[in-house]
Structure 1
Amino acid sequence: MFHDPPKMVLLLLSALGLAIGAGLWMAGMPGMAHWAWGAGVVPVLAALCVEIIRSLIKGDVGLDIVAALSMSAALFFGETLAAAVVALMYSGGTVLESFAEGRARREMRDLLARVPRTATRHRDGQLEKIALDAIMPDDLLLIRQGEVVPVDGTVASEHAMLDQSALTGEAMPVRLMRDMNVMSGATNAGEAFDLRATREAADSTYAGIVRLVEAAQKSKAPMARMADRYSLLFLGVTVALAVAAWWFSGDPIRAVAVLVVATPCPLILAVPVALVAGLSRAAGFGVLIKGGKALEAMARIRTLIVDKTGTLTDGRPQIVSVSSSGELTEDEVLYFAAALDQASQHPVAQAVVAAAHSKGIKLGVPSKVNEIPGEGVSGTIDGRDVVVGGMDFVAGRMAVPVRDGGPQEPGAVLVSLGVDGNLAGELVMADALRSDTPMLLAGLRQNGIERIVLATGDRHAVAVAVTDGLALDGVHADLTPDQKVLLVLSERKNGPVMMVGDGVNDAPALAAADVGVAMGARGAAASAEAADVVLLVDNLARLLPGLIVARGARRIAFQSVIVGIGLSVAGMIAAALGYLTPVQGAVLQEVIDVAVILNALRSLRIDPGPMPPQATQGESQAASPISQGQTA
């Protein structure tokens, strides 16, 4: 959908003026034809002059000045047909560029929509629904299962199970005991609990992240168009040739011809066409790039900062290993644990069930189920008494003492299984590294990425353990959202920076980076809004073809510019020597435009090569090691 109606109106007016003038000329009314051509030029020239004045006030000098000079000179010296052709080319180029740019930023409505509008408060022995703004410190709130915590506070119940992955990057749900601090924006992953508010909504963690995103977006310097970076040089050459042609020949029409040929349509047209084609090509690989500026910036990236949870890792607990402590086989341990866990909504329990299903295990139906949220589940499977949960929970129901499972790897969770009063086995859960990550990082380095840095809110020990063996240039853990922004700014000394993330805590850094990339399918709405690029499939491997397409599209745009400007300079010299009239110069410029546009359209055929295996599979197939038969 086109989002700039005024530019479309100017294009239609210039086309209408040129068409009517041509009709009048063929009808034998040249005087009226000149008036029609001039009438089509005036609106475009007026809008162009206003834009030039605004740019000059900001201290920007662009190639639009050349287009304004050529139209003005052509009108002044009666070359209205040449002026009309230039006006059509220029207005068409601005429409195309505006279409390429699209709407790179929307309002933060999706981010704000995640913040609850109301809360449930205890008052005089009853529950009442109140507006978010009405929450005051020391209010007692009820947080139901699945609800987002509306304000910062402390746990007022015995315990609470919270998913803080969107805020801290910690993939596993966290069990908080009474009086422990809770951040707004976390999701209740367990049973309902009471929260004692410690801050008003406007002062809470989540609201602060929203402000950080808005501030980072405002402070982010916009990229100049590729065309503008050559504007001063081209403008100087054009004016010098036009003045010299007039001075030495005494004929002002030669100067007009030079200006008409010099109209920078190869720059104005070729760049947006190549970038639009690149945007379309990247979208075919599941990479949504929000506009031409973002694609051009992506092509120049030298440093990649990547979050851990949901990017390098799957972002969900997976079975790393299964061990048997008795007569059961490892598959039977998985069977009993998964069968009973069907009765639980806990993320770890659901991951156990998913692992069993991925191995094709048909699960029995649990009965006599009793769950203690955050601790474990007990019940009956196939007539046998089964207990699944933490070691302490299972040990309390065993007939004999249970040995200590020993220290686990950082970030891992131990799930114990008891059957008929005896310890039957253990399952180790962790947020595992995506299997294609090493290959992906190598591919990114081969395509121009010089530094790859990890930035996560997770604990340092977890970050180091998960990324062990990866060729990273730095690991930064325990980061808050503002610290991630500072890391992005500090890495700029090494070149343009790309930040990849999927959580709410990543949104400010995504907005501050030269290019922010969000995991769109399962990531937070805040990240998708703040980002310049959204991966429509939650797989970081999609970034590689997107990067290759961006670099290819920019290279093709640059080639089109060099060839187009080279031909334009040759035409300017011919016009200065009197070999081209203004109308011939305008027609020649049209031929050059067609040539550079056809070249720019090659961006539609950029081939990034074979996709990494994981990038071509569905999200459900980003399988855990247990599904591939890897057990301890």
Structure 2
Amino acid sequence: MDEAYLTGEPYQVSKAPGTSVLSGAINGEAVIVIRADKLAHDSRYAQIMIVMQEAEQKRPSMRRIGDQIGAVFAPLALLFAFAAWYFTGDSTRFLAVLVVATPCPLLIAIPITLISAISMAARQAIIIKDPTVLELLPTCRTAIFDKTGTLTLSKPELTEIILVDGIKRDKILQQTASLERYSKHPLANAIIQAAEKDSLALMEAVSVFEKPGQGLVGTVDSHEIFVTHRKKLLKDSPDIANTLPPTAVGLECIIMMGGHYVATFRFRDTPRADGKSFISHLGPSHQFNKVMLVSGDRESEVAYLADLLGIEETLASQNPEQKVAIVRRETAKAPTLFMGDGINDAPALASATVGIAFGQHSSVTAEAAGAVIMENTLEKVDELLHISSAMRRIVLQSAIGGMTLSVIAMGFAAAGYITPVTGALLQEVIDIIAIANALRLSLGFKIATDLNT
């Protein structure tokens, strides 16, 4: 069964009679009969949903940029207007100051920029569910990533072949792949893809037989090939233990030819091709000070990936409750970005300053996130970072620039150089300038990523 979205375990998990099954897990190729011995509200899926709901209720409220600027500008404008009236005794100046102080750059320019950015993101297969994501993403300084399905492809890759003396690597890989194309085992595709990568032509296989949990057997090129796992082999032939290589992290399968051990194939979860360049550019290009890998997977798998990608801080075997605690702790220090794709990531997505759901596998995850990356590539995440940075920059230019021009005009109005009617016309000019600047995002703006894949 595939439990990746619940536990972070990237590989399908074998289920024997009597073992437990998590609610929300996805069945593999074989038929399975399940007996429910718990009520729905006691299931693991329900527990995760409870944690997510608590995380959403405790999510800190974020003030929009317009609200922050308006909170300063509004009392300043009133104070300025009353001061002009008080010191000059001319109520017309009071009125003129208020007319030119109308905060239209906040009311018009900011929404235009936001809508332009949301539309641009949608064209790049990025769905913005919460507009504050675009405003807050450039302020994030800590990036926290899930492992399985986010920084990896959640599928095994053949990484090592251990051979006995006298056996040629290409030959045993070709023969095993020729047999594995008749199998539905999760490791079969990894072996076939490795053979195709080495341009090895597949041969005919006869007398193919596979019993779940026992292994795959068949005849290829007049040789009987048996593909099985260590536990099964040691159970049937304990004397072969000294012949096998030591156990290692990841998955493996044992290859027998004519009843004799010939090779061990080892597999790891496939990292994304653009993962290393994406992680390494977060600091220099987007001012992230800290990158963390937090996963429900095993320590060995997490450490292996972290070493490949250059991530120094890792936490493995973390359940959804622990992920939420980690995100809250880091958010208290600095704004956080959390990226994940599984149901077990939903509570952490809801707790982070910005939560980005990767892929379209789970509606629960998408509901908890502020943005959803529809295509499984980290390049789209980089595009979102650039869109949000450009949007925030243009928003601040339009809002602060418009307010600055209004403050200058307020000074002239207080001095009696601008009448209320002239102030109204001048304010329209300021609005046009702010709106024209806001439209730059949708008129001719090009998204340029800085990933080196």
Which is greater in Rg? 1
Distance 1:510 1:407 in 2: 39
Distance 1:186 1:255 in 2: 67
Equivalent residue, structure 1, for 2:172: 333
Equivalent residue for 1:211, pick from 50, 73, 76? 50
* Equivalent position amino acid for 1:340 in 2: L
Q: Which runs of 5+ in 1 are unaligned?
A: 1-161, 615-632
Equivalent residue, structure 1, for 2:318: 479
More displaced, 353-362 or 490-499? 353-362
- Give secondary structure in 1 for the equivalent of 2:436: helix
Distance 1:545 1:259 in 2: 41
Change in Cα spacing, 1:613 to 1:408, as seen in structure 2 (3 Å) is: farther
Equivalent residue, structure 2, for 1:181: 20
Equivalent residue for 2:418, pick from 558, 576, 580? 580
Equivalent residue, structure 1, for 2:219: 380
Change in Cα spacing, 1:610 to 1:243, as seen in structure 2 (3 Å) is: closer
- Give secondary structure in 2 for the equivalent of 1:357: helix
- Give secondary structure in 1 for the equivalent of 2:35: strand
Change in Cα spacing, 1:340 to 1:395, as seen in structure 2 (3 Å) is: farther
Distance 1:315 1:439 in 2: 19
- 8 A Cα contact 1:317 1:348, kept in partner: yes
Equivalent residue, structure 1, for 2:366: 528
Equivalent residue for 2:331, pick from 466, 469, 492? 492
Distance 1:374 1:177 in 2: 9
* Equivalent position amino acid for 2:348 in 1: A
Deviation track 1:333-371 (CA, whole Å, cap 9, x = no partner) reads 222222222222222122222333344443234433221
- Residue 418 in structure 1 maps to residue 256 in structure 2: yes
Equivalent residue, structure 1, for 2:297: 458
Compute the displacement of 1:596 (Å): 1.4
- Give secondary structure in 2 for the equivalent of 1:423: strand
Equivalent residue for 2:381, pick from 537, 543, 560? 543
- Residue 278 in structure 1 maps to residue 102 in structure 2: no
Equivalent residue, structure 1, for 2:7: 168
Distance 1:336 1:397 in 2: 23
Change in Cα spacing, 1:402 to 1:240, as seen in structure 2 (3 Å) is: closer
- 8 A Cα contact 1:457 1:480, kept in partner: yes
- Give secondary structure in 2 for the equivalent of 1:224: coil
Taking only the aligned residue pairs, the percentage that are identical comes to 35
Deviation track 1:97-121 (CA, whole Å, cap 9, x = no partner) reads xxxxxxxxxxxxxxxxxxxxxxxxx
- 8 A Cα contact 1:397 1:421, kept in partner: no
- Give secondary structure in 2 for the equivalent of 1:463: helix
Deviation track 1:506-555 (CA, whole Å, cap 9, x = no partner) reads 1111111111111115x433222211122222123432332233123212
Compute the displacement of 1:610 (Å): 4.6
Change in Cα spacing, 1:214 to 1:358, as seen in structure 2 (3 Å) is: farther
Equivalent residue, structure 1, for 2:143: 304
- 8 A Cα contact 2:281 2:451, kept in partner: no
Distance 1:283 1:360 in 2: 39
Compute the displacement of 1:282 (Å): 4.0
- Residue 314 in structure 1 maps to residue 314 in structure 2: no
Equivalent residue, structure 2, for 1:599: 437
Structure having greater relative contact order (Cα 8 Å, sep ≥ 6): 2
Distance 1:433 1:375 in 2: 29
Compute the displacement of 1:198 (Å): 2.6
- 8 A Cα contact 2:274 2:378, kept in partner: no
- 8 A Cα contact 1:387 1:394, kept in partner: no
Change in Cα spacing, 1:311 to 1:382, as seen in structure 2 (3 Å) is: same
- 8 A Cα contact 1:190 1:373, kept in partner: no
- Give secondary structure in 1 for the equivalent of 2:422: helix
- 8 A Cα contact 2:337 2:354, kept in partner: yes
Change in Cα spacing, 1:348 to 1:196, as seen in structure 2 (3 Å) is: same
* Equivalent position amino acid for 1:556 in 2: I
- 8 A Cα contact 1:366 1:379, kept in partner: yes
The alignment's TM-score, normalised by the length of structure 2, stands at 0.90
More displaced, 217-226 or 494-503? 217-226
- 8 A Cα contact 1:281 1:606, kept in partner: no
* Equivalent position amino acid for 1:467 in 2: A
- 8 A Cα contact 2:70 2:106, kept in partner: no
Compute the displacement of 1:331 (Å): 2.3
RMSD of Structure 2 on Structure 1 (CA): 2.6
The alignment's TM-score, normalised by the length of structure 1, stands at 0.66
* Equivalent position amino acid for 2:402 in 1: G
Equivalent residue, structure 1, for 2:70: 231
- Residue 555 in structure 1 maps to residue 378 in structure 2: no
